[in-house]
C-alpha cells in the first residue's frame, strides 16, 4: 500500500500536528464542482424556508 501512495503520485503525504495523513489533489479538484453545487442548493433551501415577503398595497 505504501508503494501505491508514494510511487504513483495519486496521493500526497502531509504532516500536521505530529500526525501524518494523505490526500488526493486530483480527487479534491474533481469534487470541487460538487461542493459548489451543494452549497448553492443549501442556500436555496435556506431561502425557501423564510417566510414570504409581505405584498405592498
HSE at residue 30, side-chain half, CA atoms within 13 A, is 4
H helix runs in the chain, sequence order: 2-7, 25-48
Per residue in 13-37, pLDDT tens?
888 889 988 888 888 999 999 999 9
Answer whether residue 51 shows pLDDT above 90.
no
- pTM for this prediction: 0.53
- DSSP, res 17: T
Amino acid at each position: 500500500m505504501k508503494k501505491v501512495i508514494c510511487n504513483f503520485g495519486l496521493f500526497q503525504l502531509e504532516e500536521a500536528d505530529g500526525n501524518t495523513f494523505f490526500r488526493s489533489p486530483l480527487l479534491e479538484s474533481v469534487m470541487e464542482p460538487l461542493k459548489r453545487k451543494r452549497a448553492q442548493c443549501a442556500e436555496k433551501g435556506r431561502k425557501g424556508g423564510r417566510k414570504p415577503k409581505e405584498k405592498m398595497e
